[in-house]
């Protein structure tokens, strides 16, 4: 997952350098699911406000009966997320009344 997201980050950076500032001024969001069909293990990952929703089917009726969200949005106005951003070297600021990510540390040590 890390390698796939790093690859995509590279594509966006290249796009930013060659074509458009769009990747630098818009937000990021992604949700990824990996399922090992042998073990039934499910691994989910998300960034921003994309979510993974799990709907289990009732084997008798085939209809979804247990639906739940497996991920939480990363919102800079949530205190724990703001703390995480600051700890990673980023900044959080309010623009036009909206809490936004200020700066990102591009080369964390
Ligand atoms: C799924 O789990 C099995 C048993 O642990 C493992 O041998 C297999 O490599 C896993 N598959 C993938 C794609 O990781």
Let me know whether 47 and 89 are in one domain: no
Reading the block at residue 78, the tokens are 């949530």
35 with 52: CB under 8 angstroms?
no
Residues listed for the chain: 109
Whole-model pTM: value is: 0.65
pLDDT confidence of 105, banded at 50, 70, 90?
low
Judged against a pLDDT cut of 50, whether residue 109 lies above it is answered with: no
Q: Using the mean position of ligand 1's atoms as its centre, give its distance from the Cα of residue 59 in Å.
A: 25
Residue nearest (by alpha carbon) to ligand 1 atom 12: 36
pLDDT, mean over the chain: 85
The parent domain of residue 41 ranges over 2-73
Let me know whether 69 and 80 are in one domain: no
Pocket test for ligand 1, best of 39, 40, 41, 43 (most atoms within 8 A of CB): 39
pLDDT tens-place string over residues 37-54: 999 999 998 888 889 999
Q: Using the mean position of ligand 1's atoms as its centre, give its distance from the Cα of residue 38 in Å.
A: 7
Judged against a pLDDT cut of 90, whether residue 94 lies above it is answered with: no
Let me know whether 7 and 58 are in one domain: yes
Let me know whether 66 and 87 are in one domain: no
Mean pLDDT score, 31-36:
93
Let me know whether 41 and 79 are in one domain: no
99 with 76: CB under 8 angstroms?
yes
**pLDDT at position 9, please?**
84
| Of 76, 75, 57, nearest in space to 66 by CA | 57
Rounded CA separation 72/84 (Å): 14
The set of protein residues with a Cβ atom below 6 angstroms from ligand 1 is 36, 38-39
Mean pLDDT score, 69-96:
88
Q: What percent of the chain has pLDDT over 90?
A: 28
Q: Using the mean position of ligand 1's atoms as its centre, give its distance from the Cα of residue 43 in Å.
A: 12
Q: In Å, how far from its chain's centre is CA 98? A: 19
pLDDT confidence of 87, banded at 50, 70, 90?
very high
């Amino acid at each position: 997952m890390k390698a796939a997201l790093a690859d995509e980050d590279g594509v966006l950076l290249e796009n930013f350098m060659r074509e458009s500032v769009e990747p630098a001024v818009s937000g990021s969001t992604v949700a990824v699911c990996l399922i090992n069909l042998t073990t039934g293990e499910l691994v989910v990952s998300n960034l921003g406000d994309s979510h993974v929703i799990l709907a289990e089917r009732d084997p008798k009726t085939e209809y979804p009966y247990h639906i739940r969200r497996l991920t939480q949005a990363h919102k800079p106005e949530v205190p724990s997320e703001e703390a995480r951003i600051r700890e990673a070297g980023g900044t959080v600021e309010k623009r036009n009344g909206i809490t936004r990510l200020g700066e990102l540390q591009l080369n964390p040590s």
